Amino acid sequence: MDNKNLKARTIIIAMAVIAAAFMRLLPHWPNFTPVAAMALFGGAYINRKAFAILLPVSAMLISDLVLGFHSTMIAVYAGIVLTVLIGFALRNRVKTGNVLLAAVSSTVVFFLVTNFGAWASGMMPYTKDFSGLIQAYIAGLPFFYNGLMGDLFYSAVFFGGFYFVSRRYPAVVKA
């Protein structure tokens, strides 16, 4: 692939990831956002691993400057990085079933990490024992459902959209 096509591919992917992060600023159902899908997509398609991690984290940080910071940010960002790592496993294996499995897996991982973070931060009135941790997970189940639906929807949008772009402009999107 020539340098011009590589730059176009990088721009297409980067713009999709940045747009997804800024969609957090629009009204939406709780946790029905493209955040995990953008991290998964970035992990699957951004060639340089460091950039694949840095881009979604930076885009989230910029949107958090607008939304505000909170005590569970470390857990949220850890969940994003882990989702990018799941995206790495998709490289060269992007097929419908694999994307579906990766989207569900990343939702579960993000849920476990962020609800653990909410419990550990003390921002919620949960006891600091196993019972309190389970209460935190139970309380988060409605957000898990919304997150799962959002992750599946936006993964279909990102990966499906990229597939259709690759059919129309194959030279631009091939790695």
Q: Which of 157, 151, 156, 158 is nearest to 32 (CA)?
A: 151
pLDDT at 9 over 90: no
Helix/strand/coil (H, E, C) string of 131-159?
A: HHHHHHHHHCHHHHHHHHHHHHHHHHHHH
pLDDT of residue 173: 66
Can you give the pTM of this predicted structure?
0.87
Residue 14: pLDDT band (50, 70, 90) is confident
pLDDT of residue 5: 59
- Contact (CB, 8 A) for 36 and 3: no
pLDDT at 164 over 60: yes
Q: What percent of the chain has pLDDT over 70?
A: 94
Q: Which of 50, 47, 60 is nearest to 17 (CA)?
A: 60
pLDDT of residue 157: 93
pLDDT of residue 124: 78
Mean pLDDT of the chain: 88
